Each structure stands twice: as structure tokens, then as C-alpha cells.
């Protein structure tokens, strides 16, 4: 069910003064917590000029369809809401686990491009996800991941950098993805 936020909950046939927007505020107002993955997908979609991602259901084979290119967005950050100390873990990791293809009955990566999104900042104040200057994006063709990582299930930020990929800003996302698509064609 796709909602606008104005929909009201109903009980015994009567509309209540509770809206979907109320739920969103309750569930997703802490953008440094669980919705951070969706926020990264949203930002990449917006950078590409997409208002509604192709595939917004949870646990799908890829996140965004752009110019017939399947994009998987992964996200992590240094600050974690569940941490009770300020100690920052060094190398951040992203999942690249191959997924099961029901048609071919094989395990393979179902996307053409990965966008690895990193939210910077070690504290809640520093890791403001609404400031796009706090985000770094690493855009890697899946063919490179397949060649260099084989059946690996995760890749660290240090490995991405060793493969020659540098941090990009939000404003660089579209140009970089367009360049990869152009090169592929």
C-alpha cells in the first residue's frame, strides 16, 4: 500500500485522528537509526531525478531502476544510535552478498551498479543526515565487484578505495552513474 501520509486509521468503521504521517514521525523520525538505509536510497533516487524508486518493497533484488540499469544502494555510518560509547569503528563494511535468482536457480548479484553510501560523523550532532555534506558515495560497477570479490558477502570501505574508487558528493551521483552506463553501452 502506497500512502501520502494523510490517510487515517480506521476503527469500527470510524476514522481516527491518527494518520500515516503520525506513524512515519513515530517510526522514522530518527534518521540515524533504522531508516538510514531507506534515506540513502531516497537520496540516490533524488540525485537521479527519480521521484519514486522502481522497487520500494523490502527485500527485493535491487533498489532502483534507472535507464534500464539496476542499482543497489548500501549504507553505513560511523555513528550508530545503538552504541553507548563514542568509540568509532575504523573500516565500514557493506553487504554485497549474492542473491538467489529463482528463474535461473543460481546465486548472483542482481544489480548493475552498487552505490555505497557513508554517513560521516562520530556523534549524533556530527552525523546529521539532512546535511548532504555529511555523505560520501562510492559508485562501483557490479562487474568490478564480481571480478574482484567473487562470492564475497561483504566489502569494506578500505577495499573499495584500494580498488580505485573515491568518495563522491551528492551532486556527483548522477554524472558518475551516467558515465558508467555510457561506458557499458
Domain count across the chain: 1
Q: Which of 2-11, 33-42, 47-56, 154-163 has the lowest mean pLDDT?
A: 47-56
Q: Which three cell numbers stand for residue 173?
A: 551521483
CA distance 116 to 131: 17
Answer yes or no: is pLDDT of 84 > 70.
no
- The predicted pLDDT at position 103 comes to 78
- pLDDT above 80 for 59: no
73 band by pLDDT with thresholds 50, 70 and 90: very high
Cβ neighbors of 64 (< 8 A, separation 6 or more) are: 41, 44, 45, 48, 50, 53, 54, 55, 70, 71, 73
pLDDT on residue 158: 95
Question: Would 7 be classed as within a structural domain?
Answer: no
What is the distance between the alpha carbons of residues 142 and 71, in angstroms, rounded to a whole number? Answer: 9
- 26 found inside a domain: no
- Residue 139, pLDDT above cutoff 90: yes
> 51 lies in which domain range?
31-184
Q: Which three cell numbers stand for residue 159?
A: 577495499
Residue 87: band (very low, low, confident or very high) from pLDDT cuts 50, 70, 90: low
DSSP states of 19-53 as a string? Answer: EHHHHHHHHHS-TTSTTHHHHHHHHHHHHTT-SS-
Work out the pLDDT band at 165, boundaries 50, 70, 90: very high
Q: How confident is the model at residue 1 (pLDDT cuts 50, 70, 90)?
A: low
Which position has the higher pLDDT, 90 or 115? Answer: 115
The residue ranking higher by pLDDT, 133 or 80, is: 133
Check whether 32 has a pLDDT greater than 70.
yes
Query: What is the mean pLDDT of the segment spanning 58-81?
Result: 87
A 10 A CB-CB count for 100 gives 11
Amino acid at each position: 500500500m502506497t500512502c501520502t501520509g494523510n490517510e487515517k486509521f480506521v476503527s469500527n468503521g470510524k476514522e481516527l485522528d491518527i494518520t500515516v504521517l503520525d506513524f512515519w514521525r513515530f517510526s522514522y523520525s530518527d534518521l540515524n537509526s533504522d531508516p538510514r538505509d531507506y534515506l540513502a536510497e531516497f537520496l540516490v533516487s533524488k540525485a537521479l531525478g527519480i521521484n519514486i524508486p522502481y522497487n520500494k518493497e523490502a527485500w527485493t533484488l535491487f533498489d532502483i531502476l534507472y535507464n534500464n540499469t539496476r542499482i543497489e544502494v548500501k549504507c553505513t555510518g560511523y555513528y550508530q544510535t545503538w552504541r553507548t560509547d563514542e568509540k568509532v569503528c575504523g573500516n565500514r563494511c557493506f553487504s554485497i552478498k549474492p542473491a538467489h535468482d529463482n528463474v535461473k536457480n543460481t546465486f548472483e548479484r542482481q544489480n548493475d551498479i552498487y552505490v555505497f553510501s557513508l554517513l560521516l560523523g562520530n556523534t549524533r550532532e556530527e552525523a546529521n543526515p539532512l546535511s548532504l555534506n555529511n555523505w560520501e558515495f562510492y559508485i562501483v560497477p557490479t562487474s568490478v565487484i564480481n571480478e574482484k570479490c567473487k562470492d564475497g558477502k561483504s566489502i569494506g570501505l578500505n577495499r573499495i578505495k584500494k580498488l580505485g574508487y573515491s568518495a563522491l558528493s551528492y551532486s556527483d551521483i548522477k554524472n558518475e552513474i551516467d558515465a558508467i552506463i555510457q561506458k557499458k553501452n
